[in-house]
Amino acid sequence: MGEARAFTAIVNPAAGGSASASSLITLARLLREAGADVAVEYSRGLEHAADVARAAAGTGRVVLGVGGDGMAGCVGGALAGTDALFGVVPAGRGNDFARQLGVPSEPEEQAKLLLEGEPRAVDAIDANGTAVLGSVYAGVDAVANDNANRTRVLRGSAAYYFGALRAIATWRPADYLITVDGEAYARQGYTVVAANSGYYGFGKHIAPDARVDDGLLDVVLIKTAPKRLFFAVMRELEAGTHVRRPEIEVMRGREVRIELAGTSGRTLPYGADGELPGTLPVTARVLPGALRVLAP
């Protein structure tokens, strides 16, 4: 192998707290011991992180997103469509994209992957003009995401769980119009997920057949059902067995538009990689092989 890679690690100071800091310190030490140049930049927000990522990539450095899915999606999204090299360092609450890619959690294995790994081309998603990585979703999950983000007392999966409980308790079924590759479907339900990666919301295997390199989005719809049944579905999300239920519909396509039908005046947020960029409608379009990532 030629000269050692140079890295710029972009860190979300809020993600994972001290655990994220200590795992990065160990990883940076291992990379430097192997002769690599490692620069660390602390993000002041998603826009700042994206700017730093593009600038570092422009000088030929490998860009590392250190944090949760929001940071991975922001940094990876900023590099989509370029020939930059991207690495995910899972150090946040969700780490769902890293889980899908099979990125190791131990710093020693991460260092080996980052120093010697071969780049792998993976798909990204254009969501209303912004590139994201994992999935775009609209429904009770985005409301739960909003609740979890506002929770300062609870951390990790507990914040998601209580955010979800609150969202489900107050939920009334949404009338969706879902257009998949030009074909329109009117459906009523809890949520619609356009998934590039199979995992979201802290390890939930929402789209078990999704692949990050097939040039397609898996569209998973949880249709209207009694709330007690919805809780059963929630329990099955971990293993991905929920897709066998008649209340779950799965479609596939390259472009998915999710909007609210009718004139109820209702608004719903949509989520992308753990962030909430706006409200419906959203168009999610696959960007095949748009990102070169160091992953197993």
Q: What is the pLDDT of residues 240-277, one digit of tens each?
A: 999 999 999 999 999 999 999 977 789 999 999 989 99
Q: What is the pTM of this model?
A: 0.93
Structure tokens given for 40: 């660390």
CATH number given to 6-117 = 3.40.50.10330
Question: Domain limits of the chain?
Answer: 6-117, 132-288
Q: What per-residue string of b and e applies to 277-286 under the rule 16 or more CB within 10 Å gives b?
A: beebebbbbb
Query: What is residue 1's predicted lDDT score, i.e. its pLDDT?
Result: 45
Instruction: Quickly state the pLDDT bin for 156 (edges 50, 70, 90).
Output: low
10 φ, ψ to 5°?
A: -105, 120
Instruction: Quickly state the pLDDT bin for 20 (edges 50, 70, 90).
Output: low
Query: What is residue 201's predicted lDDT score, i.e. its pLDDT?
Result: 82
Q: What is the pLDDT of residues 73-123, one digit of tens each?
A: 999 999 999 999 999 999 887 899 999 999 999 999 999 999 999 999 999
Burial class of 199 by CB neighbour count within 10 A (0 to 12, 13 to 18, 19+): buried
- Give dist(CA 218, CA 101) in Å, integer: 16
- Indicate if the pLDDT at residue 176 is higher than 90: yes
Domain covering 132-288 assigned CATH 2.60.200.40 in the classification: yes
- Give dist(CA 70, CA 281) in Å, integer: 21
